[in-house]
Amino acid sequence: MAIPKVMGIETEYGITVPGLTEFNPVLGSSMLINAYVAHTSRRVRWDYEEESPLRDARGFEHAREPAGPSEEDLGLANAILTNGARYYVDHAHPEYSTPECLCPRELVAHDKAGERILARSIERASELLPSGRRMLVYKNNTDGKGASYGCHENYLVDRETPFARLAGEVLPFFVSRQVFCGAGSLGGPVAGEFGPYQISQRADFFEAEVGLETTLKRPIVNTRDEPHADPEKYRRFHVIIGDANMSEVAILLKVGTTALTLMMIEDDAITGDFALESPVQALRRISHDPSCGATVSLRSGRAVRAVDIQWGYFEMAEKYLMRHEAPEWAGEVMARWEHVLGALETDPMSLDRELDWVAKWTLLSSYRDRDGLRWTDPKLQMMDLQYHDVREGRGLASVLARNGKLERLVPEDDVRDAVDRPPRSTRAYFRGRCLAQFPGEIAAASWDSVIFDVGGDTLRRVPMMEPLRGTEAHVKPVLDECRTAADLIGRLQG
């Protein structure tokens, strides 16, 4: 029986200060994060002790590079927020990692909360910039100069599911799902045969089918084996192939359909054969065809469209959910999946209120036709970027949403609540509540533990290796009764 799909999204944001030729994105990212958390009473450090990013799901651990200065030594910002999220500098980007969520709609709210947090960070950091300068932040995946940065998803899967089967059966799904979760891109590093616009910002940057890398020779299926949970029970499936979405519908579909597919794989319910002859080439060919009519070759010799592959996974999911207990959120995801696939098959452009790549294409095309612009015109390139601006009322996606032209799924009040409050149904609740309630008594924290400083000679670590414990139902009564962290430690040990 498939385990519940605890899930999260990590987003690296693009950052720049126009007109500042010596802008350092690493320092700028730290400035953003430090400005946001400056109002907290105490900085809680991230606990790196149990991290192992070089452990490979194929059964080995890669050699580590010679030790250099740690992120802490370099002074890079690394904050843990009261909503259970992590907000830190990763490479040269501010990264927001959502707290662990148990359903797609909840994850939509916390992913959109990240945009609000970045927007607030910009406001607070603007006071630290030279007069007349402004910092801009984009939720996208490429700088337009040949570099890409990531939006990664994470799903807990059963450790007993063989990784080779997991990778093989999910790979065709990943290659084809971009038709509904691509963010749209004007141009790209690889020339396309269909035209200047493509469905996905990330597709051209992938070069391998399976591997550990995330920045070079990126693989469609990533093998990092770092569960941040009980390693005997769980594997964290780290998904690096996917665009950062502004559309709430696209986010819901991206994580919901992936969660269902992983459940099917765990229960050995993938009955169709969609093994691709050349997955990397298929990934690019699909991305470069906004008509969604291009075909790719399967190992069986069949030529199919991305939509055909997705219909195959959808039909398997229908049969699977008839035989297995369905999560509460499955009905919404299945209904939306069916609707979107039907529209992609008949008229992709009818999804301009639901999918990022269609919304952006429609917007760019209308301006191009109105003003007689070439696709290479800088005005269109700027609009392509402006779609992803996180500032409310300034980013084109947010303007479309405000005007009812990009569908909202989560009320804005719920998004703003997710800025400060953690999900109720995972261990993120305990982490977030403790940070809000005992900020001066927490020395460090990570995904799987909170370390308290309650006086005495030693720090007190509270492990959280089970992501489905530490929920509101489990710990709210205890937290409500505790005035200090020492009270809490006493109750937990009692």
| Residue ranges per structural domain of the chain | 7-351, 424-493
Outline where DSSP puts E strands in 286-441. Answer: 295-297, 303-305
Query: Vertex 219, ends 213 and 224: CA angle to 5°?
Result: 50
Euclidean distance between CA atoms 38 and 474, whole angstroms: 31
Please, where are the H alpha helices in 95-223? 104-125, 163-181
Integer Cα distance of 279 and 211 in angstroms = 14
Residue 155 CA to residue 166 CA, distance in Å, equals 12
Query: Pairing mode, if any, of strands 460-463 and 45-46?
Result: unpaired
Instruction: Give φ, ψ of 476 to 5 degrees.
Output: -60, -45
In this prediction, residue 73 carries a pLDDT of: 44
Q: What is the pLDDT along the chain (494 residues), one digit of tens a residue?
A: 899 999 999 999 999 988 877 788 999 999 999 999 987 645 688 887 655 555 566 555 544 444 444 445 445 789 999 999 999 999 889 999 999 999 999 999 999 999 999 999 999 998 888 777 889 999 999 988 888 999 999 999 999 999 999 999 999 999 999 999 999 999 866 555 667 999 999 999 999 999 877 677 899 999 988 999 999 999 999 999 999 999 999 999 999 999 999 999 999 999 999 999 999 999 999 999 999 999 999 999 999 999 999 999 999 999 999 999 999 999 999 999 999 999 999 999 999 999 999 999 999 999 999 999 999 999 999 999 999 999 999 999 999 999 999 999 999 999 999 999 999 999 999 999 999 999 999 999 999 999 999 888 889 999 999 999 999 999 999 999 999 999 999 998 86
Tell me how far apart the alpha carbons of residues 224 and 2 are, in angstroms, rounded to a whole number.
Answer: 21
Residue 224 has a pLDDT of: 87
Integer angstrom CA distances of residue 352 from 249, 305, 394: 11, 21, 19
Catalytic residue ranges? 90
> What's the confidence (pLDDT) of residue 56?
61
pLDDT reported for residue 194:
66
State the DSSP code for 232. Answer: T
**Helix extents (H) in 47-103:** 71-74
DSSP label at 39? Answer: T
Q: Which contiguous run of DSSP H or E holds residue 11? A: strand 7-12
What gap in Å lies between CA 488 and CA 438, rounded to an integer?
10
Q: Which CATH architecture has domain 7-351?
A: 2-Layer Sandwich (3.30)
